[in-house]
Chains A and B, each alone.
Chain A
C-alpha cells in the first residue's frame, strides 16, 4: 500500500490471501477460477445426466431421470450444448458428439416444429459448432469454413424453414413441418420475436455458403415488420402475417418481442448494417419514452402508450446486455440493480413479477433456469469490471447449486417462493446459463478476445482471412459467431470495387512515375530478378496510354456511367438464372463502351420489353402459387421467394439507414469510471 511495501509485499501478501475474510466482496483471480470450476462441475453433472438418462430424447427430466421430446425429435440438448463443450475446453467430447450428430441425426422427418426455436437452437447450435470446430482439433474438410458437415446440416434445416417465409408480407409463419412445409390451416399469427430473430443465423449462413437467399429473407422479414410499427413507434406482441394487423397490442421488451430488439443490434454490428441499428434506435426511443419507469420496463398499449401491465418478466433481463453492446452502461447497470433485487428476495427471478405490488404474479412463479440475467451480467462485467456484477454471478451460481440440483441434473424451479421443483431441464440451461456463468468467471477464455490476436487462415481459394480474432457475438441461444470467419467465404469484392482500387493506384503511379523510376531502377539493380524493371517499363508505357486515352474517353465515360442505372442492375439480378446469354450480351456491351453509348436507346428498349415480359410471367406464376389450394408437400423452390423479394423492394427507408456513424460508440464521461457498486453519476 505504501512505497516501502514494495519490498515487504512479497513477504506479507501471504496473510492477506489466507485471511480472506478481511476483503469480503473483493475477488482475486483465484476466486474466479474456483467459481469457474464450480460451474464446470455443474455443467458436467447435468450433461452426463442427460447422456446417461435422456439421450437421444430432446431433454432430460431431472426428477424422474428420463428423457422426453419437447421441441422436435433431434436430441436438442446435445446440439444446444455442443459449443459449451468447446468453451469449457472439452474437445474430445465435442469430437465424439459431432460424429454422432453428423452420422445419425436426421431432420427429414414429418414433424411440426417452431420456426423460431428451431432456428435459434438447432441452426444456431450447428453453425457455432461448425465455426468453432477448428478449435477442437477436428479434421476440417478442405472447403472449411465455407463447407463442412455441420454447415450442410444447418443449411438443410434452414431450407426446411424457408417455406414459412412464403407469405404476402414476408413475415414467417410460426410453425412449419420439416418435411412438408407450412401445414394446412396453420395460424397466420406470429409473435414479433418469431419474425425478427433470424438475421444472425441466416446472415451467417449466407456469408458462409454464398447463397443470398437466407440473408435476404431475414432482412425482408425485418423490414416488413418495421413497417407495421404503431404511430408512436412501438411494436405489439403478435401480428397477422398475411394482413399485417396486430392481434396482440401489448408492447414491452419481454416475452414475444425480446430477441427482435437483440437481433436488430447484433445484426447491425455483425453485418455492418446501419439500417438495423437505425431501426433499433427509433424503437428504443419509444421504449424509453413509454415503457421505462424508474429503470423498470412496463407493458403498454402499442397505440396509445398507456400502461397495461406493470410487470417485470425474467426474460426481460436480456435488455441491459443489449444496451451494453452500444455503450449504454449507466442505464443497463441501473436496470440490473432492479432485477438483482428481485433475485435477492426469492433466490430466483420469477417469470412475472408485479412491480407495483412487489409480488410474484400468480401462476407465473416459476424459474426454468433462464440465462437472461447472467447473460447481461457477463457482458457488463466484461465491459466495466464492476465487482458488483461478480456478486450477482455468485448469487446466481449459489442459488442454482443449492435449490435446483437433483441426482441427475438441474430442475426447473416450480415456485420461486418455496423453491419447489418441476420435472424439466430446458436445453438452454446447458447451452446458455452454464456457458455465461463460465464465461463470467473465466476472464481468459478465447471468447473474450477483443481483437488482440487472431489466426491467419488460408482458404482453398487462396484467400487469407482472420479467424478466431475475437469479437464473438452470441445469438439469442448463446451460440457464438466469429465475425472474422464470415469474411473467409465472401466472394472477392465485386469487380467494380477492385477496378476502383486499381484505378486509384494507377493514378498514384501515374502521378509519381518520376519518383518510381528511381526506386524501381535501384531495386532492379539490387535484386536478381528483373521483374521490377519490366513493371517499370510497363508503367511508363501505361502512363502514355493513360494520357492519350483519358483525353479520348473523358466524354464517353461520363455518359457510359449512366448506363449502369439501377434499372439495369436490378434487371440483371432478376434474370440471374435463365438469361445467361443476355447477361453475356450485357457484358459484351459493357466491354464495348463506345458502342454502348451509341446503342444505348435500343438497348434500354430491349431491356424494358424483356422486363415487362418477365413481370407478366412472374405475375401469372404468383397467381398460381396463391391460388393453389392443395397442401402438396412437394419439393419447394425457395428461389421464387427471393425473386419476389428482390422485385418488390417496397419498403420506405429512412435517411439514417445508411448512416454508418450509428454503429460507433461515444466515449464515457470521465466521472463515469467511478461508477461502481451502487454509485451512479446522473447529471452528465
Chain B
C-alpha cells in the first residue's frame, strides 16, 4: 500500500512543472497510473489474503492416493465415481469400495479388499472410490454415508447389492463367489436332500419362464444383503420331472425348513420374495453374527431360553463345518422327541455330508498336490454358475501324468455323464486354446478349487481336519435325551471372529471346545469329537449333575485389558495376593489363617480409590504370619452364592478355625485406615491383638505417647509411676 502512495506524490509534483501538452500526457499517465496502482493494490491484497489464509487456516487438505499400489484395485481418490463406473463397463461384476481416507475401518479394510480383489483378479473389476471428498460426484451421489467403508457389488442391469458382512477377505470372497453363482441348480433328488439338510433353510423354485427366472434371480441376490454368508440356500429346478416329484408347481417358491415347508403365493416380485423369506424363515440351529450398532439380538435369544452355543471356527473357504453339522444332528434328535419330523432321512444326509467333507478333504489334498499352472488367467466369471457340482468329483489321478485328467462321475444322470465323458475324451490329448471348452472349464474349476484349498490350508487348517469328528449310529444315549427338558435353542458362533464372546464368559477358546448354556453357564470340558459327548453334556445339564462353569481370572492372558505389573516387587513395595475362583477356596478356608478379603469390581471406581487403605492395613500387619490379606475381582470370578459380595467394595474377614463366623466390614463406617485396622484387630484372637498392640507401640511413637496420656488420665499419676517403662518401649 505504501508503494501506491509514493507513486501518487511523484505524479503530483511533476504536474506543476511541465507544459500543457505534457500535462495532458501526464494526466493520461495519471489515469493509467491510477488504474495500474489500483490493480497493483488489488493484486497485493489478494496475495496477502491468499498467503495469510494459507498460513492461518488451511482449507480442505489435498487428496492423496489411498492404495499404495494399484495392481489389484483401481483407486479413485479424487472421488470420481462415474469414471469408475465408466471403466467398469467391460466387466460383468464390479466390486466397489466407498471409503473415507481418515476412517480407521476403511484403512483396515484396505488390505482385505486387496486380498479379495487379488483372488478375483481380472474376473471382477475392483474399484475404490473416495466418497468423502467434498464436491466430488461420489460424495454428491451418496450423501450422508453413516459408516465408512461401504461395499457395493454392481451387476449390470441389476440394482447394486450392498455387502453387509464382515470386512474380512474370506467372507468377502465367499460373498463374491455367491454373487457370481447365487442359485444352486437342483438336478436330482439327492442334490435336493443334500441342500435342504446341509443348509439352514432352502428356497427352491421351478421357473420355466425367463422373466420370472430373472425376478427370482434378483431376489436371490438381494437376499444376500440380509444374509451375506448365505446361510439360507437358494436353488432352482430346471427339470419338470424333478419339479413334479418335489411337488413343485411352476412359478411358485417354496421355503424348506427343518420342520416345515412354506409356499409363496403373493405377487412374484423380487422385493416381496425377499421379504417373505426373511419373515418366514426360522432355524433349528443358526450362526450368530454380531454388529457394532446397538441391538438386543443376544438379549432376545437368551433371556427366556436355555441356549446351547457352539464355538467353532467357521471357514468361509470351505462350505461346510463338520462340527456344526454334528451339532445340527444333535439338535435334530432333541427336537424329534417333541416334533414329528422325518428324522432318519435328515440324519442320513447330514451324516453323509460330514463323511463327504472328510473324503473331499483327502481328495483335494491329493489333487492339489500336483501343482497347477496358474499363469493362465481367464476372463470368464459368470460362467462358473454353469459348472455343476458333480464336476468336483473329477479327480486327477496322481499316478498318471499331470495333464492327464480322468473323471469319476458318481451321478445317476447318465446323459450328463456321457456328455462330459465324451468331452473329456475328445480333448484329453488335444489341449484346446478355447477357454470355454469343456475340458478347460473343468480344469479351470479344479484350479479354482485348488486355489481355495490352498488358502484354506494356509490359514486355518490347523483347527480343522486334524481332529476329525467320529461318527456313530443309533447311540444308546440318544434315547435318554428325550426324557430331558428339551426347550433348548441352538446357536453357533464363529470363534475366529467373536472370541471375545467366549472371553466374556471367561472361556479360553484356545483350550476347549465349548458349549455354554445360560443363565448360568456350563461348559463342556471334553473333546467334542462325537455326538455322544454332546448328548451326555445335555443330559447332565438337565439332571443338574454337571458343575456350573465358573468364570475366573486364573488365566489373565485372555483378558486384553488385564493389568500386569511391569516389573518385580521392590523391597519398599507391598503387593496383595489376587485370588480367583480356583484359588479362593484353598486360601480363604485355610483353617490356621485369618483371611481378610477385599472384594472389588472393575466397574466400581470406589473400590480402586479406596484400595490403598487396604494396602496400608495389610502393611501394618505384614509381620503377622497368621493374617492373610487377599483381593478378588468379584465381577470376573464366580463363587458359591454364599461367598458372593452384595456390593463393591466389600471387606470380609474369615477368622482362623471359625470360618463360618466370617465378619463383614460395615458399610456405615468410612473406609479409613484407622477403622479398618480396628475392624481387623477386633475380630482376630487375643494373641494377635496383644502382639499387634505391642507392635503398634514400637512403630508409632506418638501413639505410645497417647497411651501414656490415656494411662495418666485413667489412673492416678502418683500411684502409677512406672510410665518410663512404656517410654522405653516406644524408643526401642
- A→B interface (CB under 8 Å): 1-6, 8-9, 11-12, 15-16, 19, 21-29, 32, 63-64, 269-270, 272, 295, 324-327, 329, 334, 337, 341, 344-345, 347, 358, 381-388, 390-391, 394-395, 397-399, 402-403, 406, 411, 414, 417-423, 443-444, 446, 448-457, 462, 464-466, 469-471, 473, 483-484, 487, 492-493, 495, 497-499, 501-506, 508-509, 512, 515-516, 519-520, 531-532, 534-535, 537-538, 541-542, 545-546, 549, 591, 660-661, 663-668, 670-671, 673-683
A residues less than 8 Å from B101 (CB atoms): 402
Q: Give the nearest-CB partner of A295 in chain B.
A: B294
In-complex Cβ contact of B667 among A2, A443, A448, A664 (8 A): A664
25 cross-chain CB contacts under 8 A: A1-B463, A1-B510, A4-B467, A269-B609, A398-B104, A419-B102, A421-B57, A451-B615, A453-B575, A454-B573, A456-B619, A471-B605, A471-B608, A473-B609, A519-B686, A534-B722, A535-B694, A664-B667, A666-B647, A667-B645, A668-B635, A673-B551, A678-B291, A678-B294, A683-B299
Q: Give the nearest-CB partner of B112 in chain A.
A: A21
Indicate if the CB atoms of A5 and B462 lie closer than 8 Å.
yes
In-complex Cβ contact of A443 among B509, B563, B598, B710 (8 A): B563
The complex places the Cα of A403 from the Cα of B707 at a distance, in Å, of 67
B residues less than 8 Å from A538 (CB atoms): 711, 720, 722, 725-726
Indicate if the CB atoms of B528 and A508 lie closer than 8 Å.
no
Indicate if the CB atoms of B725 and A531 lie closer than 8 Å.
yes
A residues less than 8 Å from B609 (CB atoms): 269-270, 471, 473, 483
In-complex Cβ contact of B298 among A22, A28, A681 (8 A): A681
The complex places the Cα of A154 from the Cα of B264 at a distance, in Å, of 77
Q: How far is the CB of B365 from chain A (nearest CB, A)?
A: 17
B residues less than 8 Å from A453 (CB atoms): 565, 569, 573-576, 615
In-complex Cβ contact of A22 among B105, B459, B504, B670 (8 A): B459
CB interface residues, B 272-297, toward A, < 8 Å? 290-297
The segment from B154-162, B421-429, B495-503 found at the interface with A is B495-503
Query: Which of B59, B604, B609, B702 neighbours the largest number of chain A CB atoms within 10 Å of its CB?
Result: B609
The complex places the Cα of A383 from the Cα of B563 at a distance, in Å, of 11
Query: Which of A344, A541, A664 neighbours the largest number of chain B CB atoms within 10 Å of its CB?
Result: A664
* Given A421-B61, A678-B294, A385 contacting B561 (CB threshold 8 A): yes
Q: What are the 8 tightest A-B residue pairs by CB atom distance, in nearest-first order? A: A451-B611, A484-B612, A665-B604, A469-B612, A453-B575, A471-B608, A12-B462, A398-B104
Q: How far is the CB of A280 from chain B (nearest CB, A)?
A: 13
Indicate if the CB atoms of A399 and B519 lie closer than 8 Å.
no
Indicate if the CB atoms of B715 and A665 lie closer than 8 Å.
no
Residue B84 is within 8 A (CB to CB) of chain A in the complex: no
B residues less than 8 Å from A680 (CB atoms): 294-296, 299
The complex places the Cα of A529 from the Cα of B628 at a distance, in Å, of 28
Q: Give the nearest-CB partner of B728 in chain A.
A: A531
Indicate if the CB atoms of A452 and B631 lie closer than 8 Å.
yes
Residue B358 is within 8 A (CB to CB) of chain A in the complex: no
Indicate if the CB atoms of B299 and A347 lie closer than 8 Å.
no
* Given A398-B107, A668-B635, A679-B296, A327 contacting B603 (CB threshold 8 A): yes
A residues less than 8 Å from B504 (CB atoms): 673-676
Q: How far is the CB of A336 from chain B (nearest CB, A)?
A: 10
Q: How far is the CB of B570 from chain A (nearest CB, A)?
A: 8
B residues less than 8 Å from A503 (CB atoms): 710
B residues less than 8 Å from A423 (CB atoms): 55-57
* Given A16-B460, A541-B720, A3 contacting B674 (CB threshold 8 A): no
* Given A22-B170, A64-B55, A665-B648, A671 contacting B616 (CB threshold 8 A): no
A residues less than 8 Å from B459 (CB atoms): 15, 19, 22
The complex places the Cα of A397 from the Cα of B217 at a distance, in Å, of 43
The complex places the Cα of A607 from the Cα of B54 at a distance, in Å, of 74
B residues less than 8 Å from A664 (CB atoms): 604, 606, 647-649, 667
Indicate if the CB atoms of B670 and A421 lie closer than 8 Å.
no
Residue B340 is within 8 A (CB to CB) of chain A in the complex: no
Indicate if the CB atoms of A667 and B644 lie closer than 8 Å.
yes
Residue B448 is within 8 A (CB to CB) of chain A in the complex: no
A residues less than 8 Å from B460 (CB atoms): 15-16, 22
The complex places the Cα of A665 from the Cα of B599 at a distance, in Å, of 11
Residue B732 is within 8 A (CB to CB) of chain A in the complex: yes
Q: Give the nearest-CB partner of A31 in chain B.
A: B560
Q: Give the nearest-CB partner of A666 in chain B.
A: B647
Indicate if the CB atoms of A676 and B104 lie closer than 8 Å.
no
B residues less than 8 Å from A516 (CB atoms): 686, 690
B residues less than 8 Å from A403 (CB atoms): 61, 102
B residues less than 8 Å from A5 (CB atoms): 462-463, 467, 510
What is the 8 Å Cβ interface bit string for chain B, positions 94-135, against chain A (1 contact, 0 not)? 000000111111011001100100000000000000001010
Known interface pairs A473-B609, A508-B686, A531-B732; 20 further A-B residue pairs with C-beta atoms within 8 A, sorted by A's residue number: A12-B463, A22-B459, A23-B497, A63-B58, A385-B562, A394-B108, A398-B107, A418-B134, A420-B60, A423-B57, A454-B575, A462-B701, A502-B707, A541-B715, A660-B667, A664-B647, A667-B645, A671-B302, A673-B551, A678-B295
Indicate if the CB atoms of A535 and B729 lie closer than 8 Å.
yes
Q: Give the nearest-CB partner of A492 in chain B.
A: B702
A residues less than 8 Å from B682 (CB atoms): 504, 508
* Given A419-B60, A453-B573, A671-B519, A499 contacting B561 (CB threshold 8 A): no
* Given A385-B561, A450-B600, A660-B667, A497 contacting B674 (CB threshold 8 A): yes
The complex places the Cα of A347 from the Cα of B467 at a distance, in Å, of 46
